[in-house]
Amino acid sequence: MTERAYVGVGSNIRPERHVPRALAMLRAEFGEVQASSIYECPPLGFEGEAFHNLVVSFETGVGVDELVATLREIEDACGRQRGPQAPPSRTLDLDLLLFGEIRSTGAGIELPRDDVLSYAFVLAPLAEIAPTVMHPVVRRTFAELWSEFEPTHEMRRIAGR
């Protein structure tokens, strides 16, 4: 059985290099990948370069744990640093946002991820590529949620649709 996964992609260290590389690696691993436009927004909670953010979607037959492990491998291949000494800026950040209708808060994986309802740089691209898909908890479409969202930070589309 396959599930549709939605993954947030972000980078503020050489995003012009790391975002295309991540997309290529995701396509090599999962086949057809649907990607939103790329949005630029300032970092939240720290000083640094602007982030390039987008959401991608693909079908997969792997489970949540295996998918998250693959996303971590792709981040690592793009030079992602982890741990308490890691800088807040990132070469690549891949966050599993949704995995079918699955709702989970165990084993360090929260689904759907709270970021979906909290950040414009997640909800806008999600509404762009999946406008009629329902959020599995609030049971409203992403287009509806985005139309009522009040962003707390600036964001601009820089590439795509």
List the catalytic residue out of 80, 114, 115, 156.
80
Mean pLDDT, the chain, whole residue set: 92
Dist CA 3 CA 126 (whole Å): 16
Burial of 18 (0-12, 13-18, 19+ CB in 10 A): buried
| Radius of gyration (C-alpha) of the chain in whole angstroms | 15
List the catalytic residue out of 21, 27, 72, 95.
95
Regions of the chain short of the pLDDT cut 50 = none
| Annotated catalytic residue 90 | yes
pLDDT at res. 88: 81
Query: CB-based contacts of 56: which residues, under 8 Å, 6+ apart?
Result: 6, 7, 9, 23, 26, 33, 34, 35, 36, 129
Sign of the Cα torsion 89, 67, 34, 134 reads negative
pLDDT at res. 79: 87
Dist CA 158 CA 38 (whole Å): 6
List the catalytic residue out of 14, 21, 72, 93.
93
pLDDT at res. 161: 64
Token pair recorded at residue 35: 């990607």
Dist CA 132 CA 58 (whole Å): 16
Dist CA 34 CA 6 (whole Å): 9
pLDDT at res. 105: 65
pLDDT at res. 154: 85
Which amino acid, one-letter code, is at 19?
Answer: V
| Annotated catalytic residue 95 | yes
pLDDT at res. 69: 94
